[in-house]
Amino acid sequence: MENRTNPGSEQLVSSPMALTRKDFVSDQEVRWCPGCGDYSILAVAQKTLPSLGVPKEKSVFISGIGCSSRFPYYVNTYGFHTIHGRAPAIATGVKAQNPDLQVWVITGDGDGLSIGGNHLIHALRRNVDLKIILFNNRIYGLTKGQYSPTSERGKITKSTPAGSIDYPISPISLAIGAEATFVARAIDTNPAMMTEVLTVAAKHKGSAFVEIYQNCIIFNDDAFKDVYDKSVRIEHSVMLKNGQPIRFGMDGKKGIRMNGIQLEVVEIGKDGITENDLIVHNDSLPDSAYAYLLSRMNVPEFPVPFGVFRRIERPTYEEMMETQLRDSISKKGEGELQKLLNEGDTWMVE
């Protein structure tokens, strides 16, 4: 009974720190459709991972089912391609068992928001230190093109020939509502943005939720064209920068201000509006109402925000779990099994 440490930690001999992209590329042939947005996300992840200072044996990628969920096969760390929707639950077990590991969850809009919605909510609210990356392509790709929980209403797909009658859900709004301590958005066509967002997400202590707009070239091509096509990007998207006024549009002429309890788009210089009227982005407000308002911004009325919506500090689930165990041991001493077996009213039979 000498080995009472956390399984895994006894063998945590760090591998050489000078890791490169190559170290994170597995020997498996990547099997997404040519032109799929998943490729660029994978490339950014493989490039970013070496810079995080985490030895690759301590990195674990856990996914559910769907196109995005093939991701772990292509990253040369520990990986677990699990079952539909359950990755956050399985990842919670991994992280709780061994908090030394850096645990990533790769999911999609169907996997994470439909069949696995419940697990996503609870992993977030518990603040398990998981990096949850949701590839949102607004469609079911692997099952060949049915509408998803993020598909727009009226969407015509194989399962909705007359148009979808579901109202879509916003992953960011959901994550904020579920008490996630880190919430951000990026898009597959902007590697620099993805690198930045994934890096801060990785460094965040607690549940980090990142939505990545991902183009499914086969079943939902150009889903984000009205947000990020070169021709409209400047007017239809905005990068959130902490401590800076929220500005967008040609020459940063436009901005977002509070009007009552609502946001509105204003133009600087028009009707006496100056930069001072704009909201200065603060991702660390204790109350999540502001981040939620941002999460509702959508085209055509608003530009779509990218970057970090919310980032707050809270003790993590696995930390608190360990603390309770330590406290109990320091109060009562390490449990003695024979004593435990002998507890209660006992008697001798001669």
Partner 1 sequence: MMDIKKRQNLQDVVIRFAGDSGDGMQLTGTQFTKTSAVLGNDISTLPDYPAEIRAPAGSLAGVSGYQIHFSSHEIYTPGDAPNVLVAMNPAALKTNLGDIDKGGIVVVNSDAFTDENLKLAGYPSHPLKDGSLSSYRVYEVPITMMTNKAGEDTGLSKKEIERCKNFFALGLVYWMFDRPIDVTIKWIEEKFAKRPQMGEANKKALLAGYHYGETAEIFDVHYHVDRARLSPGKYRHITGNEATALGLVTAAELAGKHLFYASYPITPASDILHELAKLKSFGIKCFQAEDEIAAMGAAIGAAFAGGLAVTGTSGPGLCLKSEAINLAVMTELPVVILDVQRGGPSTGLPTKTEQGDLLQALFGRNGESPVPVIAPATPGDCFNMAYEAFRLAVKYMTPVILLSDGYLANGAEPWLIPDLSKLKAIQVNYWTQKEGFFPYLRDKGTLARPWAIPGTPGLEHRIGGLEKAEVKGNVSYDPLNHERMVHLRAEKVARIAEDIPDLTVHGHSSGELLIVGWGETFGAITVAVDQLRAMGYSVSSAHFRYLNPFPKNTGDVLKRFDKVLVAELNLGQLALLLRGRYLVDCQSLTKVQGKPFAIQEIVNGALKLFPQKMKGAEEGKIWRIEQTQVLNN
- Where in 22-61 is the site for partner 1 (CB under 8 A)? 26, 28, 55-58, 60
Q: Rule CB under 8 A: choose which of 118, 231, 242, 284 binds partner 1.
A: 118
33 interacts with ligand SF4 by CB under 6 A:
yes
Cβ-Cβ contacts under 8 Å for 197 (sequence gap 6 or more):
184, 185, 186, 210, 306, 307, 308
Q: Which is nearer to partner 1, 74 or 140 (CB)?
A: 74
Q: Which is nearer to partner 1, 10 or 271 (CB)?
A: 10
257 interacts with partner 1 by CB under 8 A:
no
Are the C-beta atoms of residues 185 and 106 closer than 8 Å to each other? Answer: no
Q: Which is nearer to ligand SF4, 30 or 234 (CB)?
A: 30
292 interacts with partner 1 by CB under 8 A:
no
100 interacts with partner 1 by CB under 8 A:
yes
30 interacts with ligand SF4 by CB under 6 A:
no
Query: CB 216 → ligand SF4: shortest distance, Å?
Result: 3
Nearest residue to 206 via CA among 176, 172, 182: 182
Residue 128: count other Cβ atoms within 10 Å of its Cβ: 27
Element (H, E) at 257: strand 254-259
Per partner kind, with CB cut-offs from 5 to 8 A, the member of ligand SF4, partner 1, none near residue 221 is none
Q: Rule CB under 8 A: choose which of 17, 250, 261, 349 binds partner 1.
A: 349
Beta bridge partners of 257: 264
Backbone angles phi, psi at 49, to 5 degrees: -55, -45
17 interacts with partner 1 by CB under 8 A:
no
Are the C-beta atoms of residues 207 and 132 closer than 8 Å to each other? Answer: yes
CA torsion 139-143-145-147 (nearest 10°) is -50
350 interacts with partner 1 by CB under 8 A:
yes
Are the C-beta atoms of residues 1 and 92 closer than 8 Å to each other? Answer: no
1 interacts with partner 1 by CB under 8 A:
yes
CA–CA gap between residue 104 and residue 303 (Å, rounded):
29
Cβ-Cβ contacts under 8 Å for 302 (sequence gap 6 or more):
256, 263, 265
Backbone angles phi, psi at 180, to 5 degrees: -60, 140
Residue that is written with structure tokens 């001798």 in the block: 348
Query: CB 66 → ligand SF4: shortest distance, Å?
Result: 8
Structure tokens at 50: 């070496």
Q: Rule CB under 8 A: choose which of 37, 66, 72, 141 binds partner 1.
A: 72
167 interacts with partner 1 by CB under 8 A:
no
The size of the interface with ligand SF4 (CB under 6 A), counted in residues, is 11
Per partner kind, with CB cut-offs from 5 to 8 A, the member of ligand SF4, partner 1, none near residue 205 is none
- Where in 124-183 is the site for ligand SF4 (CB under 6 A)? 137, 141
Per partner kind, with CB cut-offs from 5 to 8 A, the member of ligand SF4, partner 1, none near residue 329 is partner 1
**319, exposed or middle or buried, with CB in 10 Å at 0-12, 13-18, 19+?**
middle
Q: Rule CB under 8 A: choose which of 36, 62, 134, 256 binds partner 1.
A: 62
93 interacts with partner 1 by CB under 8 A:
yes
Q: Rule CB under 6 A: choose which of 91, 202, 212, 216 binds ligand SF4.
A: 216
Q: Which is nearer to ligand SF4, 77 or 137 (CB)?
A: 137
Q: Which is nearer to partner 1, 276 or 346 (CB)?
A: 346
Q: x/- contact string, 119-158, with partner 1 (CB under 8 A)? A: x-xx------------------------------------
Per partner kind, with CB cut-offs from 5 to 8 A, the member of ligand SF4, partner 1, none near residue 167 is none
Structure tokens at 63: 């996914």
Nearest residue to 45 via CA among 173, 172, 199: 199
C-beta pairs of 167-170 under 8 Å, 24+ apart in sequence: 168/138, 169/113, 170/295, 170/296, 170/298
* Contact set with ligand SF4 (CB under 6 A): 32-33, 36, 38, 67, 137, 141, 216-219
